[in-house]
Structures are given as C-alpha cells and as structure tokens.
C-alpha cells in the first residue's frame, strides 16, 4: 500500500506531468549569511493572507455607515464569538504587515536585489508597498472613532496640496468637501474591493517574477564566491519549511499581541466636536507628518505643504525607478545611491521617533 | 476701448465716493478739544468719551449736557441761555437717561432689541425709591454704567458685563462706610466669591448667576422670603417644583422661613454633597431635627440611599477602569454606568421632596445599572484571563508545530541528496 503523499504525487503527475513538481523540488535558494532577509517577503505574504482571511470574517458583521460602523465594530469586539481575536489580529497584522514590508523593501534595496534582471520585481514590490499604505490609511477610518476621524481629516487635507489636481483629489477621496459618511463609504470601497483587486494582481505578478528570476545573490556574496557556485538549498522542502516556521512564529506573535494588547476602539467620532489635541497619523506616516510640520509656511515661491508633497512625490518616484538609476551598483553612482538610501532610512527612523515622542 | 472702460469705472467710483461724502454728517464736538487739555475730573470725561457707546453712535456731550459743541468759544458753547445744562444733579440722572432710553421709537433706531422700561424698573428698586425720597447717595444710572465710558453689556470692558457685575455692585455694597447709614451687611461680595455661582462665572460660563440675576438690575431689591423660591426656581426649575411637594413647604411658609437659602445660604451658595443630609457632622438636617425624630430618620434613610448608590457606582467604575486598562472594550458598560450616574443625579434632585420613597425609586434603578456595569466589567476581566489561558495553549501548540517542523527539516537535510546535487557551504 503506497503512502498517501506518494498517491497524491502520482495523481498530480498523471494530470499535470512532472514539470511543476520537478521545478519546485529542483529550484535552489542561495544560502549565505544574508539568507535571513529572504524570509521577509514570505512573512509579508503570510500577513497579507491573514489580512484577507480576517478581513472577510470582519465583513460578516461590519456595517460601513456613520450611524452603524462604530457600533458594529463594538459588537464584533464584545458579542461575536472570537470577534475580539479576529479584529485584534486584523489590526495588529496590518501594522506588522507594513513593518515586514518595509524591512523587506529596505533589505532588498541594501542588498541591491533590484539589479538587472529584477527591475520589475522591485517595481511591483514598491507598488505593493504603496498599496499596503493605502490599505492602512483607508482601514484606519473604518471603525469611525474620534482618532480615526480627525486623523483622516488631517491626512486627506494634505491631498489638497498636490499641485493642479489637489482639490479634485480631496473631493474625490472625501466624497465631498468634508469627511462625512460619504468618505467612510468610499474608504470602505477602496479597502475591501479596489485595493484587494489591485493587490491580488500585483502580488501575483511579484510572486511570478520572484519565482521566475529566483533569489538575487548580493554583490558581496558574489565577490566572495567569484568563480565558484554559491551554496544553496532546495526551495521545496528546505526553504519552504523554514518559511513555514517563520509563519507559525508570526502567528504566535499576532495571537499574543491580540490577546495581551487588545486593539482599542476609542470613542465614536463626533464630526461636530473640535479636533482633539495630539491627533497623529499611524506610525508609518509619522515621518511624513513630522516633516510637513517642520517645513516653513512658504518655500521659494510655493506653499510649504505643497513643497513637502512635491518633494515626497518626487522621492517616491525616484525610489521606484532606482533600478534604472543604479546601472552599476558597485560603481560610484551605486555607492552614492546606497548612501542616499541609508540616509533616507535613518531620516525616516529619526523623524518617526521625533514625532512619536513629541 | 480698454481705456474708455477704465475711465468710466474710475468716474463711477469717484461719483460713488462723492455721494458717500455728501451723505455723511460731520460731527463737530469742540467740548472734547477743550476738556482734553484739563487734568482730573474736567479732563477725564473728554478722554473716556470717544470709546463710549454713545460717541460711537454719533451722540455728543451736548446730548446730555446741553450747550453748543460746534462753538469754539467756551463761553458761547456753555451758554445756559443756549440750553447748557452742565453737570446734571444726581436726582435728575435717571430722568435724563430716560429721555432717550424710555423712548421706544427713538431707541429702535439704534438697538431695536434694547428694553425701554429701565426707568420704570428703577422706580421699583430700593435705589429708586430712596432717590425719590430725597436720598441722593443711592446708585443712579451713572454709578453702575459709568458716566462717560459706557459700553454695551456684552463688552468685557463694560462695568455691567456679567463677570464685572459683582465688583460693580460691590463698590458700594462691600464698602462699610457707604453702607453704615443703611445698616446692611457688607459681606455679600466676599460670600459670593466663595459660592459655586462665582466659580462657574469665573470658569467662563457667563450665564452663571450674578447679583443682578437674583436681585434684578434696574429694579434691584432683595427678594422677599416668599419669593426666594421663585427666584432660585428660574434656573433650578426641578428643585423648586420638588420642594413644593416636600413636607417642609407648608410649615416653612407659615413660619416665614425662606426656602432654598435656609439650607443653601444666599450669597455663599456652596457645592452640595450627600454629607449635608444624614446625621453626620456636616448635616444640615440636624440644625432643626434630632437624630431620632421622624425628620432625622428620613434624613438618615435618604443619606444611606444616596451614599450607597454612589459607592456602588464607584465600585463599578473601578472594575471598568481595570478592564479598560487591560485593553478590553467596555464602551457599552460605560454607557450603562453613565445612566446609573444620571439616576444618582436625579435622586439627589429628588432630595428636595424629602420623600424617601421618591429618592429610592431612582437609587434603586441606579443600583441595578451599577450592578449591570460592574458585572460587565467583571466579565470583561474574566474574558481577559480566559484569553491569556487560550494564548498560552495556542503558543504551546505553535511551539510544538515549530519544533516538529525543525526536526522535519533536520531529518530531510540529513538524507543524502536525491537527483540533482545540492551544494553546501
């Protein structure tokens, strides 16, 4: 009597041939002292899957209207069986997802994994990161609590600083001139339909590109093994099982955070109340927030806020286009770009810390 | 074409300016020019008057003092034959102001919502009556409103702006020398400053009662014993209605004991508390009742009810605080607790009936709500403990799976590589 796994393998091979399985089992992952960074992509993917699953569960009870949103989240947290866990994991996982995505992106940058032929892998990754930020921004408003309401008011107000189309953007995202029920409905639409559809497509493309080109070996490792093959291990099962361990550990961290530090709901939003003191965006927007606070009212001939938005817009565009700017990663330009990137990381950390402590 | 349009616009603009200049009536007031040169009481009015509301509305010194302000020559300007009145006598001031302020048709042109019965009201006031009787030391219009720097009551600079009123009245009523001939106390201002009303007023609530709220402004007089309850009842509506149902009402009325102030005082109305009831050291009830008479027992019963509910609400709040600090969502229980607090407030208002059953009705409902909130808090804490246990079990399961996976990896990697060779470092 053959084993079940063998029976399944034969069943699969009888229909799809041996190509796919052979490719997976023969696919190799480089093994060196930077290998640990390879796991961050899988970790981010796992957290995204957690978001999708918990998000679908939350959808069963959540109601996207100003009169019901807060109460429905309150109901989920207090009355629905394990609703607290689902909401807690969704909220914590959203933050961990952006954290791991950030680490993944910066490690990819510092290891120069965007080099030819992986330009598109880098670009799809950047787009995914921006989509995750969009998820975070749109999801933050959905519980319709005071903090979220006013943070969204401040956050969307920045859109008005975008040259030419600023006011149009503001009206489009708010569904009017102010943050109202129309904004909530729009943000809900973005959060559960538009962003998931886009993200699924871009995640698909990103994963395909990662599998197609395989893992990039950092230039320093390449130099170490100049003419020798870089040590490696199999994608399936060695890398995949280690990935799985990471996913389980992430699940443990999520469960611990959700159980020990329940994500608080706060007080229901009152659009007629004055803006409370100390309104701040989520931690991943703090550096933007702090920078815009520091920019003077007028820079050269344009308004300070508009100047800030333009600079950040330009920086984000250059960030996405790095593979085309850094054509010789080991040359002077390459080193300069690494230096600028490292400065950007330190800047983001310092500004976030400053904003968080002030 | 452009030049023609531009010149037409300029001409139209100049025409409009010319018309406006023609309509404006120049106000000539040489009184101010001369008097500004003096020091002291001859010069002060000239320095104060430009900011006076009357000056800003186009009135001049002559409107009160008579004379001809367009005359540069002092003799001619202050010619009594020309109607110069000079400094009006104190006894004439109310009538002088009333010439305009009691004229509805005249005042409508300046402020249609301003009342025009000040003189009539003044006539009913203690000040007005004494003035009529020949006592010119009593307050007249210019004492409270100032003679030459009158501002609307809404202006913080006005002597009759709500937070200024106690000081304005106190200038005379807190002055023992001034009040000596009348034999009335002078501690009202100090007492008022120790009151909850003053705290509210200085806390920024301009609707808080000042002297004029209870005594009237132009018709200022002390409220009589019979009307004190009505005066307080203009703001404390429920308390007044409830007091009407209390066993105190009839005997107090018969004995001419003033309602409200017997327990709360008049100018120094302090924060109340449950301790004012009962039979403790601060008890007001024991001023008239003995501990073991019917009134004393009622007071004890009501006191026990109120403090019992207060304590229950406090216990529930403490449990909810603990649950909230643990991160649990207790918003609904907080709402229940705040409904319970509302019942306590209602019960405290019901104290004015001095009917224990009325008070108990609210305290009982409040106690149920406090219990509900406390139970919800305890459930939240139990749920938190349950979650921690669940987390511990989940982490053990996860650790087991991770350990198993690790062993699986080790066992797979120990096997000799099949098929393609796997390079190892």
Number of structural domains found in chain B:
1
A310's tokens: 């333009």
Q: What is the mean pLDDT of residues B397-411?
A: 95
Contact A161, A309 (CB under 8 A): yes
In a domain, B205, yes or no: no
Indicate yes or no: CB of B387 within 8 angstroms of CB of A233: no
- Single out the residue of A133, A137, A109 nearest to residue A34, CA to CA: A109
Strand partners, A298: A303
Q: Best residue in A70, A83, A233, A264 to probe B by mutation, most B CBs within 10 Å?
A: A233
3-state secondary structure of A41: helix
Q: Is B107 exposed, middle or buried (0-12, 13-18, 19+ CB in 10 A)?
A: middle
On whether residue B306 sits in a domain, the answer given is yes
Percent of chain A exceeding pLDDT 70 equals 99
Distance from CA of A29 to the nearest CA of B (A): 10
Q: Determine the average pLDDT of the residues in B263-283.
A: 90
- Partner A, chain B 322-351, Cβ-Cβ below 8 Å: 326-329, 331-332
Structure-token pair, residue A304: 């300070």
Whether pLDDT at B19 is above 70: no
* Cα angle B218, B224, B228; round to 5: 90
Residue B21: what pLDDT? Answer: 40
Task: Confirm whether B169 is domain-assigned.
Answer: no
pLDDT at B338 exceeding the cut of 90: yes
Domain that holds residue B309: 294-412
- B16, pLDDT greater than 50: no
A245 interaction partners in chain B (CB closer than 8 Å): 402, 405-406, 409
A166 touches chain B (CB under 8 A): no
Asked whether residue B5 carries a pLDDT value surpassing 70, the answer given is no
DSSP letter, residue A190: I
CA-nearest residue of chain A to B394? A252
Question: In 3D, which of A241, A261, A290, A207 has the Cα closest to residue A96?
Answer: A261
**CB neighbours (10 Å) of residue A211?**
13
Per-residue pLDDT band for A227 (boundaries 50, 70, 90) equals: confident
> What is the rounded average pLDDT for all residues in chain B?
89
Q: What pLDDT, on the 0 to 100 scale, is given for residue B309?
A: 97
Question: Looking at the domain assignment, is residue B158 inside a domain?
Answer: no
Nearest-Å Rg of the Cα atoms of chain A is 23
Tokens at B158, concatenated: 């006005």
Sign of CA dihedral A41, A47, A49, A52: negative
Mean pLDDT of B38-49: 92
User: Look-up: residue for tokens 């990697």?
Assistant: B413
Q: How far apart are CA B45 and CA B47, in angstroms?
A: 5
A243: chain B residues, CB-CB within 8 Å: none
Give the per-residue pLDDT at B9.
Answer: 43
Q: What is the pLDDT of residue B414?
A: 86
The answer to whether residue B403 is domain-embedded is yes
Chain B interface, mutation test: which of A39, A259, A260, most B Cβ atoms within 10 Å?
A259
Percent of chain B beyond pLDDT 70? 91
Task: Give the C-alpha separation, B307 to B311, whole Å.
Answer: 6
Complex ipTM: 0.84
pLDDT of residue A3: 82
Q: CA-CA distance, A186 to A171, in Å (whole number)? A: 11
The shortest CB-CB distance from B412 to any of A74, A237, A267 is to A237
Tell me: pLDDT of A291 over 80.
Answer: yes
Q: How far is CA B180 from CA B172, B173, B176, B266, in A?
A: 11, 10, 6, 21
pLDDT per position as a tens digit, B104-117: 999 999 999 999 99
Taking an 8 Å cut-off on Cβ atoms, the answer to whether B413 and A77 are in contact is: no
Question: Is the distance from CB of A286 to CB of A356 less than 8 angstroms?
Answer: yes
pLDDT band at A19; cut points 50, 70, 90: confident
Q: Is residue B376 part of a domain?
A: yes
Of B272, B269, B295, the closest CA to residue B282 belongs to B272
Calculate mean pLDDT across residues B154-168.
95
pLDDT (tens digit, 9 = 90+) per residue, B281-322? 889 999 999 999 999 999 999 999 999 999 999 999 999 999
Closest residue to B327, CB basis, from A25, A32, A262: A262
d(CA A74, CA B334): 13
Q: Quick one: B314 exposed, middle or buried, by C-beta within 10 A (0-12, 13-18, 19+)?
A: exposed
Q: Average pLDDT in the B146-160 region?
A: 94
**How far is the C-alpha of A10 from the C-alpha of A355, rounded, in Å?**
58
A301/chain B closest Cα distance in angstroms: 31
> In terms of C-beta density within 10 A (0-12 exposed, 13-18 middle, 19 or more buried), how is residue A319 classed?
middle
Q: How confident is the model at residue B27 (pLDDT cuts 50, 70, 90)?
A: low
Q: How crowded is the C-beta side of A176, counted as CA atoms within 13 Å?
A: 8
User: Which of B332, B394, B412 is opposite residue A255, by nearest beta carbon?
Assistant: B394
| Peptide bond before residue B11 is cis, with ω within 30 degrees of 0 | no
Cβ–Cβ under 8 Å, residues B77 and B31: yes
The verdict on residue B397 lying in a domain is yes
Domains of chain A: 23-269 (1.20.810.10)
Tell me the CA end-to-end span of chain A in Å, nearest whole number: 69
| Residue B338 located in a structural domain | yes
Q: Do A238 and B412 touch (CB under 8 A)?
A: yes
Residue B222 is predicted with a pLDDT of 86
d(CA A147, CA A136): 14
Q: How many C-beta atoms lie closer than 10 Å to residue B360's C-beta?
A: 17
Domain at B401, CATH number: 1.20.140
Cβ contact A32–B425 (<8 Å): yes
Q: Is the peptide bond preceding residue B167 cis, with omega within 30 degrees of 0?
A: no
Contacting residues for B257 by C-beta, under 8 A, at least 6 apart: B225, B251
Q: How confident is the model at residue A2 (pLDDT cuts 50, 70, 90)?
A: low
Residue B417 pLDDT more than 80?
A: no
């Amino acid at each position: 009597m053959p084993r079940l796994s063998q029976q399944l393998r034969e069943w699969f091979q009888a229909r799809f041939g041996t190509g796919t399985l052979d490719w997976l089992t023969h696919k190799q992952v480089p093994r060196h002292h930077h290998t640990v960074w390879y796991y961050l992509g899988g970790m981010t993917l796992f957290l995204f899957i957690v978001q999708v699953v918990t998000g679908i569960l939350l959808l069963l009870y959540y109601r996207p209207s100003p009169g019901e949103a807060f109460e429905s989240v309150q109901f989920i947290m207090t009355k629905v069986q394990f609703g607290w866990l689902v909401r807690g994991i969704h909220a914590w996982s959203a933050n961990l997802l952006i954290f791991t995505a950030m680490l993944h992106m910066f490690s990819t940058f510092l290891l120069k994994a965007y080099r030819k032929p992986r330009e598109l892998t880098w670009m799809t990754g950047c787009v995914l990161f921006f989509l995750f930020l969009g998820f975070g921004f749109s999801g933050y408003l959905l519980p319709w609590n005071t903090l979220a309401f006013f943070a969204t008011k401040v956050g969307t107000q920045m859109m008005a600083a975008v040259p030419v189309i600023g006011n149009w953007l503001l009206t489009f995202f708010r569904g009017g001139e102010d943050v109202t029920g129309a904004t909530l409905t729009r943000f809900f639409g973005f959060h559960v339909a538009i962003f998931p559809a886009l993200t699924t497509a871009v995640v698909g493309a990103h994963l395909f590109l990662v599998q197609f080109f395989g893992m990039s070996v950092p230039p320093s490792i390449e130099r170490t093994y100049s003419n020798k093959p870089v040590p490696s291990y199999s994608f399936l099962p060695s890398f995949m099982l280690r990935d799985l361990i990471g996913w389980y550990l992430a699940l443990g961290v999520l469960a611990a955070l959700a159980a020990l530090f329940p994500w608080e709901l706060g007080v229901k939003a009152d659009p007629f109340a004055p803006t409370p003191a100390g309104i701040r965006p989520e931690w991943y927007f703090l550096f933007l927030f702090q920078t815009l606070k520091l920019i003077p009212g007028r820079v050269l001939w344009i308004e300070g806020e508009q100047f800030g938005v333009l600079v950040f817009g330009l920086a984000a565009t250059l960030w996405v286009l790095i593979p085309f700017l850094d054509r010789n990663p080991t040359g002077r330009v390459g080193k300069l770009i690494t230096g600028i990137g490292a400065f950007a990381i330190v800047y983001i950390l310092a500004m976030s810390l400053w904003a968080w402590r002030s | 074409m452009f030049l023609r349009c531009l010149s037409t616009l300029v001409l139209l603009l100049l025409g409009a300016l010319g018309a406006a200049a023609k309509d404006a009536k120049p106000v000539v007031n040489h009184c101010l020019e001369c008097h500004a040169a003096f020091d002291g009481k001859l010069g002060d009015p000239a320095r104060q008057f430009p900011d006076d509301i009357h000056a800003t509305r186009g009135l001049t010194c002559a409107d009160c003092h008579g004379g001809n302000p367009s005359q540069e020559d002092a003799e001619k300007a202050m010619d009594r034959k020309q109607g110069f009145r000079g400094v009006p006598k104190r006894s004439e001031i109310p009538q002088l102001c009333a010439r305009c302020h009691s004229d509805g048709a005249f005042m409508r042109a300046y402020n249609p919502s301003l009342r025009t019965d000040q003189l009539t009201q003044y006539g009913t006031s203690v000040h007005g009556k004494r003035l009529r009787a020949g006592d010119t030391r009593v307050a007249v219009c210019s004492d409270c409103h100032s003679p030459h720097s009158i501002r609307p009551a809404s202006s913080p600079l006005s002597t009759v702006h709500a937070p200024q009123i106690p000081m304005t009245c106190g200038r005379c009523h807190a002055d023992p020398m001034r009040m000596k001939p009348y034999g009335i106390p002078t501690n009202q201002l100090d007492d008022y400053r120790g009151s909850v009303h003053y705290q509210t007023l200085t806390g920024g609530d301009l609707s808080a009662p000042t002297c004029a709220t209870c005594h009237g402004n132009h018709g200022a007089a002390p409220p009589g014993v019979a009307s004190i309850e009505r005066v307080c009842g203009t703001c404390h509506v429920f308390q007044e209605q409830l007091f009407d149902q209390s066993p105190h009402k009839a005997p107090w009325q018969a004995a001419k004991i003033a309602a409200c102030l017997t327990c709360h005082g008049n100018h120094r109305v302090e924060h109340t508390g449950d301790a004012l009831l009962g039979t403790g050291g601060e008890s007001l009830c024991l001023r008239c009742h003995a501990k073991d008479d019917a009134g004393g027992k009622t007071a004890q019963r009501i006191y026990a009810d109120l403090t019992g509910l207060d304590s229950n609400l406090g216990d529930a709040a403490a449990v909810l605080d603990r649950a909230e600090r643990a991160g649990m969502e207790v918003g609904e229980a907080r709402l229940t607790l705040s409904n319970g607090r509302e019942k306590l407030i209602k019960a405290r208002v019901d104290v004015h009936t001095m009917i224990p059953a009325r008070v108990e009705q609210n305290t009982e409902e409040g106690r149920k709500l406090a219990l509900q909130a406390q139970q919800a808090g305890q459930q939240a804490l139990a749920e938190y403990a349950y979650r921690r246990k669940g987390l511990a079990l989940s982490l053990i399961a996860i650790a087991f799976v991770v350990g198993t996976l690790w062993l699986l990896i080790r066992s797979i990697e120990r096997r000799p590589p099949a098929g393609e060779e796997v390079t190892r470092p």
